[in-house]
Structures are given as C-alpha cells and as structure tokens.
C-alpha cells in the first residue's frame, strides 16, 4: 500500500521542461526518465502535451508516452491539452487526467494558444462535455490551471479580480479542479496567499487545484511557503529545474523538484518521494539530454547531517 502523503508533488519536467528546450529527447530516453521519476515515489507526472507536432516537435510522441506510462503502477499520468482535439487524442491514448492552460492575460492567451481567454474557457467547457460523453471508465479528470495568473511579460499586471472571475467560469464550465500558474515568475508570496485564499472562496475546497510556480526571480520556494500558509496541497515542479529561464543563466525555470521535496520533508510534510532517488533520476535525464544544464542546490550540497524525512525515516 502506498505511503500516505500530505503534499502532492506533480512532476512537470517531461512536459514543461522538455518543451522549453530546443533539442528533442528520444522517446526511449523519456520513458527511462519517467520510470526513474516514478520510482522515486512521485505520484503524478505530466508526460507531455497533445499539441500540433509542427508547433512543438519535442512533444510529438505524447500518445506513446501516455500509453507506456500508464503501465507504471500507482502513477497518475497527466497530459496537457490546449483544446478539444488535444483532449480527444489524449483520451484515445488512454490519458486519465488532462490539464488545460487558459490564460488570464489576453495578449499571452492569443500568443500561447491562439484564443482569447473567453474562447479558452469555452474550450474547457467543450472538453468537459466530451469527458461527460465518455463511459465512466474512460472519463479523465479535467484540471485547468490559469496561466499568467500573477502577471504577464506582455501586459504587466493582470487584474486579480479577472483571474478569480475566470476561476469561477472554469468551475461552471465543468473543470474538476482549478489551479493558478505563475507562468512568468512574477508572483510574490503576499500575492500568492491573497490569490489562493480568494480562489478557494470562489470555487470551494473540492475544486481547489495546485500552484504551478516558476523560479525566474528566485521566489519559487518562498511562494510555496506562502501557498502552504493557505493550505495549498499540490505543487508542480521539474526535476533539475529543466528548461531553465532564458533570461537568467543561473536560474531554473520551474521550481526544482529536489529542493522542493527537501523543503517539504524538512518541514514535516510527507511527499512520499525519496531524495536520493530523485538525484539518481538526474543521471537518467542527462543520459537522454547529454550536457543539458540543470539546477538544484540539494543535489550539489547534499542533505543536512542528521536529516530525517517527515515519515520519521532517517538517512544518516
């Protein structure tokens, strides 16, 4: 029986990390990496994105990855779908959880998924209707995570009222859970607390999604602490902070899974993840992407002397 956990760490490296770099990792190497990630104890992995291979050739093997990853016991396999067509392809491949990225910033939404925010909400409605048309054993969970929820590199400030309004509309459209994404690394801890509190009061605790945070300005784990203060229990992160930040040579893109898991476990919050196994998974990642720059402090510095996991397990 799997260990009980307090916080779900949702690994997004195979999707968010790999789509941020130019090289394409071979399918076989991706699968090795996904298996290594799962064997560290990660319960949920976003394996890819069902988008046009013209736009993101790195993601062309997403169907195969879903099919193969589904064979890993106890793993929730997540796939990003920007629209109904993507959702149909994902379900055909056997995906049981879909994540959709409507964006609060109009400029970013048009740029990223070629739709206005309102059209993106409609698309979530179509995907939810499609979900409901399926026999129950094939019905995927539909998660929506609002991109640029804390600011946008194109528009600057994004109205917080508008973000919360979108969350309410997504809930009405049928999304199973709704999270907030700091796509641009603009969020600060005060804003994180305020917005997740408002999100909960808008959509209720049953539909509360997670926090997708980037470390662009070094605020990633600080934002996690703020989110924990308002009882957020799911965090996206990426092994080695894969993908980096194009503007900051020393900065990871997504928050680094290794450092996140260390922080949570040190705080007494069980993740079910083994840090040494995560560090071993870095080698598997680098075998598939030789010489890629990856990030993380814990892999370089090691665990504190006398460290114990939240479960009470000691490592020294």
Known catalytic residues? 245
Residue 267 touches its own copies, criterion: CB under 8 A: yes
Q: Binding its own copies by CB under 8 A: which of 29, 266, 284, 315?
A: 266
- Dist. CA 202–CA 172, nearest whole Å: 11
Count of residues interacting with its own copies (CB under 8 A): 50
11 vs 61 by CB, closer to its own copies: 11
Residue 100 touches its own copies, criterion: CB under 8 A: no
Q: Which of residues 275-294 bind its own copies (CB under 8 A)?
A: none
Write the CA distances from 104 to 14, 112, 164, 191, integer angstroms: 24, 11, 9, 15
Q: Which residues pair with 98 in a beta bridge?
A: 79, 142
Burial class of residue 286 (count of CB atoms within 10 Å of its CB; 0-12, 13-18, 19+): middle
Contact present, 283 and 292 (Cβ < 8 Å): no
Shortest reach from residue 243's CB to its own copies, in Å: 15
Q: Which residues pair with 11 in a beta bridge?
A: 45, 237
Q: Binding its own copies by CB under 8 A: which of 18, 163, 199, 251?
A: 251
Shortest reach from residue 119's CB to its own copies, in Å: 24
Residue 189 touches its own copies, criterion: CB under 8 A: yes
In sequence order, which residues have a C-beta less than 8 Å from that of residue 243 and are 6 or more positions away? Answer: 13, 16, 17, 18, 19, 20, 21, 252, 253, 254
Please report the DSSP string for 267-310 in residue order: TT------HHHHHHHHHHHHHHSTT-----SHHHH-PPTT-B-T
Instruction: Map residues 209-248 to x or -, x wherever contact with its own copies holds by CB under 8 A.
Output: ------xxxxx-xx-xxx-xx---------------x-xx
Q: Which stretch binds its own copies (CB under 8 A): 49-57, 67-75, 81-89, 264-272?
A: 264-272
Shortest reach from residue 237's CB to its own copies, in Å: 12
Q: Binding its own copies by CB under 8 A: which of 95, 243, 296, 309?
A: 296
DSSP 85: H
Q: Which stretch binds its own copies (CB under 8 A): 22-30, 36-44, 110-118, 147-155?
A: 147-155
Would strands 97-100 and 234-237 be described as parallel, antiparallel, or unpaired?
unpaired
- Dist. CA 257–CA 241, nearest whole Å: 7
Residue 204 touches its own copies, criterion: CB under 8 A: no
100 vs 221 by CB, closer to its own copies: 221
139 vs 270 by CB, closer to its own copies: 270
Contact present, 261 and 9 (Cβ < 8 Å): yes
The HSE-up count of residue 121 (CA atoms within 13 Å, CB side) is: 19
The HSE-up count of residue 12 (CA atoms within 13 Å, CB side) is: 28
Length of the chain: 316
Instruction: Map residues 148-167 to x or -, x wherever contact with its own copies holds by CB under 8 A.
Output: ---xxxxxxx----------
Shortest reach from residue 275's CB to its own copies, in Å: 11
Q: Binding its own copies by CB under 8 A: which of 74, 114, 168, 304?
A: 304
Q: Which stretch binds its own copies (CB under 8 A): 36-44, 96-104, 118-126, 296-304?
A: 296-304
Shortest reach from residue 301's CB to its own copies, in Å: 5
Q: Which residues bind its own copies (CB under 8 A)?
A: 151-157, 184-186, 188-191, 215-219, 221-222, 224-226, 228-229, 245, 247-251, 256, 259, 262-263, 266-268, 295-298, 300-302, 304-306, 316
């Amino acid at each position: 029986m799997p260990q009980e956990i307090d916080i779900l760490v949702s690994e997004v490296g195979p999707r968010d990390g790999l789509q941020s770099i130019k090289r394409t990792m071979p399918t076989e190497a991706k699968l090795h990496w996904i298996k290594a990630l799962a064997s560290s104890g990660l319960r949920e992995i976003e394996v890819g994105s069902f988008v046009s291979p013209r736009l993101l050739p790195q993601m062309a093997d997403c169907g195969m990855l879903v099919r193969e990853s589904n064979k890993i016991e106890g793993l929730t396999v997540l796939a990003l779908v920007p629209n109904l067509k993507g959702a149909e392809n994902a379900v055909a491949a056997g995906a049981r959880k879909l994540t959709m990225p409507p964006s609060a910033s109009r400029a970013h939404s048009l740029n990223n998924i070629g739709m206005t925010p309102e059209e993106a909400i409609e698309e979530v409605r179509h995907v939810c209707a499609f979900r409901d048309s399926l026999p129950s054993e094939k019905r995927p969970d539909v998660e929506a995570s609002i991109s640029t929820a804390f600011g946008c590199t194109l528009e600057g400030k994004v109205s917080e009222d508008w973000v919360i309004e979108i969350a309410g509309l997504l809930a009405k459209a049928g999304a199973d859970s709704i999270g907030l994404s700091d796509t641009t690394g603009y969020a600060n801890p005060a804003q994180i607390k305020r917005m997740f509190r408002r999100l909960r009061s808008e959509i209720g605790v049953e539909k509360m999604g997670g926090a997708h945070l980037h470390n662009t300005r070094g605020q990633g784990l600080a934002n996690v602490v703020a989110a924990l203060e308002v009882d957020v229990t799911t965090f996206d992160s990426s092994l080695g902070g894969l993908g980096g930040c194009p503007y900051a040579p020393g900065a990871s893109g997504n928050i680094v899974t290794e450092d996140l898991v260390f922080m949570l476990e040190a705080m007494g919050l069980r993740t079910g993840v083994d840090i040494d196994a995560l560090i071993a998974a870095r080698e598997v990642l680098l075998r598939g992407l030789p010489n890629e720059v990856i990030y993380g402090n814990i892999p370089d510095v090691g665990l504190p002397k006398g460290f114990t996991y939240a479960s009470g397990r000691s490592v020294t």
